[in-house]
Chain A
Amino acid sequence: MRTYTVQRVPSVSGRVRTGATLLSCLASVLAAGLLLALLGLHPAALGLQVLHQSLANRYGLEDLALLAAPLAMCGLSVSLMLRVGLWNIGADGQFFVGAAGAAWIGLYGPSWSTLPMLALMGAASMTAGAAWIAVPALARLILGTSEIITTLLLNFVARLGIDWLVTGPWRDRASSVTAQSPRLPVAIPKLPRDWHLGGMHWGLAVVLALACVLALAFRFTRWGYELRICGANRNAASYAGMAVNRRLLEAMLLAGAVAGLGGMLELAGTVHRLQSGLSNGYGYVGIIVAVLAASSPLGVVVTGVLMALVLNAGTVLQTQGVPSSAAVALVGLILLSAAVGERLANYRLQRIPPAPRPGQAA
């Protein structure tokens, strides 16, 4: 008779981890489908509809890419801080504040030509995003205050601030819509017409480039190596002579800047007006984007597209009379099963050879 035992192994290979993540995503989608079936809907048909709408034609693909871009930017921001073992729950706020900084330059700044203008807006958004995380970052480094809660609290403040700006001082007085700013005079140029990617803009290229740069920096620079060591074991890092606090601060400010830049890209590339609907909780989805990608920058691009699909499912559900907030619940479910799957990946079944019985010939 064969007997098995469950064994826990301290670390597993990247392949096992990826497999566990994929399995847990699949499990949660199946669970959600079961739930929908209980509600009397047809999950398989709905799933096909989601895939058809998002992947089968050009417009669906473009929309998917445009939705994936802010998710990937927030995911990059979260993964930067995950590298050093910290949580950025405030990417949503940094995203908004970055967009506000860019809008300020765009609406009230100099009237230069498009390219320098966009560069200035980008710089403003990154400064704003970094400034928004500065207080939580310093509180974390100097006082040890949990960055989870401080960054999160600032999300509410940022949202309310944007609400105030677009209904008050920056309100578009020419239009009848009350809660948005005037249209920005500059926009990120679209990709060339003969590439047949009509709706997409160069901001998407910026996202990809940033992911590549971060991936290279993490892999091939001393800075990236030090970030990883600071995240893995701060004491060892400091014993090895690394400037731990400096690295942590850099990672946090950069995370804020990246999320802020994401806000600018969304504003100047896709939405063109500052409004409180600019982010549909992208910063929170960014957490799961980063976690599913195991904080690898190139992985973030892939998981960003994956989560964009999930959010698209919400839009499809809406046409079936299920509120789009169901997609948020699905995001939570995926995050939960990914967290559990990550841990269960460390267990494996081990066969125990049958023990030789006493008296039996060896």
Chain B
Amino acid sequence: MTLLSGLLGNALLSGGVLALAGMGELLAERVGVLNLGVEGLMALGAVSAVITVASTHDAGLGVAASLAVGAIAGGVFAIATVLARASQVLCGMALTMGGLGLAATIGRPFAGQPSAATFRPMPIPLLDQMPVLGDALFRQSLPVYLAYLVLPLALHLLLFRTRHGLTLRAIGENPAACDAVGIRVLPLRFAYVVLGAALSASAGAYLTLGFVPSWSDGVTAGRGWIAVSLVIFAGYRPWRIVAGALLFGLVNALGYLAQARNWGVPSAFLSMLPYLVTLLFMIVPALLSRGRPGATAPAALGLPYYRDQR
């Protein structure tokens, strides 16, 4: 029983990273901007959170720092892709490399040390007394609840239940039509790319203040890329992203369990699991639903918008 509870708790905790990063990416992609820089944003967020808590000993401030740094980096990315209309793929790769390199450079003095402050568990009264689920689900920290319940709910309501959300989705589908009815395409794109980048960077703070919890070079380990693919096979929907994140958390947790219990599988193969499972998820559902129209990407995803090319 404690095994199952531990497994579930760990899955929830490790999946939260992907949930946060994925929802940040979702915001950018829904307005038509493919941000491949999530990995770099996460690294920047992770390192700025660690550096902040080292001097303030306050996890909340750490998260705030990661949000701010993410917004700045996202602003640079948005200036390049939305305003200057440079290739989103190239700028995303540049953000990934620049973010990873910069984070490794400024994080060097902090590498390997445990974070000075971490998220405190926030048990939910009564529910945390449940036999198996109580420990696993209801004694997590505040960011876990935010990542799994509050944020997806907020994003779902925003995107699918408000007029503003309809506008955002329309910008991702057909910016020219939006422009024609007087919606300001570029400012909205800019704003949501920055907001999404801040959210993705906060996944880094979650990583180094909640999950690992320490900074080291390469701590993000491709999670940003998994988050990008998660958004694709979750069909660009917040709840499905969260569900997918939990699934990946479970794969991760099983890997740790296998390692801890020494099931005889070399640890390298266990570490490969998340990437291989991602690959599988990129390919198998597409293979099964061939010919049938599934959830497709926003039609204008990746395309710069020029008013004179309508």
Contact B84 A344, beta carbon cutoff 8 Å: yes
Answer whether residue A350 sits at the interface, using C-beta atoms and an 8 A cutoff.
no
Which of A143, A161, A168, A335 lies in contact with B283, CB distance below 8 A?
A143
State whether A343 touches B84 (Cβ < 8 A): yes
Q: Is there contact, CB below 8 Å, between A332 and B94?
A: yes
B100, A328: Cβ atoms under 8 Å? yes
CB closest chain-B residue, reference A335: B94
Q: Which of A284-327 contact B (CB under 8 A)?
A: 284, 287-288, 291, 322-323, 325-327
Question: Is there an interface contact between A332 and B87, defined as CB atoms closer than 8 Å?
Answer: no
Decide if B268 touches A329 in the complex (CB within 8 Å): no
Closest approach, in angstroms, between the C-beta of B263 and any C-beta of chain A?
Answer: 16
Q: Is B85 an interface residue (CB 8 A)?
A: yes
Interchain nearest-CB distance for A44 vs B (Å): 20
Instruction: Spot the interface stretch: B57-65, B121-129, B221-229.
Output: B221-229
A250 at the B interface (CB under 8 A): no
Q: Is the CB of A143 within 8 A of B286?
A: yes
Cross-chain contact A150 with B282 (CB below 8 angstroms): yes
Contacts of B229 in A (CB 8 A): 149, 153
**CB atoms of B272 and A326 under 8 A apart:** no
* Contact assessment for A160 and B271 in the assembled complex, using a CB-CB cutoff below 8 Å: yes
Pairs across A and B, CB under 8 Å, 6 listed: A144-B286, A156-B275, A164-B268, A164-B269, A328-B104, A335-B94
Q: What is the size, in residues, of chain A's interface with B at 8 Å between Cβ atoms?
A: 46
Chain B contacts of A148 at CB under 8 A?
Answer: 36, 89
Q: Is B179 interfacial (CB 8 A cutoff)?
A: no
Bound-state CA distance A148–B286 (Å) is 16
A to B contact number (C-beta, < 8 Å):
141
Distance of A70 Cα from B307 Cα, bound (Å): 42
The answer to the question of A340 belonging to the interface, with a C-beta cut-off of 8 Å to chain B, is yes
In the complex, chain B residues whose CB is within 8 Å of the CB of A322: 105
Contact between A153 and B95, CB atoms less than 8 A apart: no
B222 touches A339 (CB 8 A): no
- Verify if B1 is at the interface (C-beta below 8 Å from A): no
18 new A-B contacts, CB < 8 A, other than A161-B268, A338-B90, are A135-B283, A139-B282, A145-B282, A148-B89, A150-B283, A152-B225, A153-B222, A153-B225, A153-B229, A325-B100, A325-B108, A328-B100, A329-B105, A333-B98, A336-B86, A336-B94, A339-B87, A343-B85
Q: Is the CB of A149 within 8 A of B89?
A: no
Point out the residue from B104, B268, B286 that lies within 8 Å of A163, measured CB to CB.
Answer: B268
Say whether A339 contacts B94, CB under 8 Å.
Answer: yes
Question: A287 contacts which chain B residues (CB < 8 A)?
Answer: 93
Q: Which residues of B contact A330 (CB under 8 A)?
A: 101
Q: Are the C-beta atoms of A325 and B271 separated by less than 8 Å? A: no
